[in-house]
Structure 1
């Protein structure tokens, strides 16, 4: 039988949704989360984390952690991003999140079109899965809220950059602060804008 990722009748009980947050920013780690939802404890309001308010994401993150059968949040550091590139670092964070689940997943549905290597279970990809599969939505929310919390810590350590506002993305404000202060240790030196800035110092 050909497997249809959107046919819930074919899903095993221990289905993990896996998603990432933070591939695009110029600073900070990239995060990933894996979630196995409990069908007996439904969570209302799950959806694409990018379309939810910060307050709603925080509320849902608490519900996910309380009601899911299993969840785990992992990351890949700035040093790892600069060493192996952002795509491979993202795959590594996803692998770490998925393989740490207890109980282990029987099947992982990965948001996007690339499978991480080294997963301990079968896996399939699903483009825009965070808007279609509740477990992926839940993973998206956990990854996003974890990274946002880290950005707040980065802001407290380096308040001159405004990480609490732009979350590390290359906004006009971020570019202005970079020109004024130069990159800090949280900036991804493998990213072209940061690399060029360092070359011109």
Structure 2
């Protein structure tokens, strides 16, 4: 898990650097150091990247099963506490990061299960010819889940309700992001494709 975190830090954490730090990072990276972030910066940079690691990297970049997704939150939570005891990070920062890790241990596997259930819904969708659908009845983008009722989910921009199994609506949380392709036919929205679910 720590290897995955290091990989995420080296590939993505540079975006949160100050101008001076970004300049230092760019010089090292351009000189061929592909692990420049971890070579240049200390563990105090980990907490501010934790959300991106859990909610983006583990979902989008790692082909992970339920066990590994849960472990991502558990291991990073323990790491935050260890960094605190070693006085690398302040207790308040450690608490916020550990809370985020705990949420990740719970939400990442749930989001993965939701994605599978939504893909099943999309697989059962009626055949809809894209050319026969008005622009106002078609969506193909990443959307936030905005509302949930048993057996129904809505996405932002008034997309929905979409009929889903109750297990799916039980897992879903407002604010989670999902890449969806959906079409409205005869007043009813249908999921046609579903990408990853981001808690």
TM-score interval, normalised by the smaller of the two chains: under 0.3
Using structure 1 for the length normalisation, give the TM-score: 0.27
Q: Going by fraction, where is strand more abundant, 1 or 2?
A: 2
Q: Going by fraction, where is helix more abundant, 1 or 2?
A: 2
Using structure 2 for the length normalisation, give the TM-score: 0.27
Greater RCO structure (CA 8 Å; 6+ sep): 1
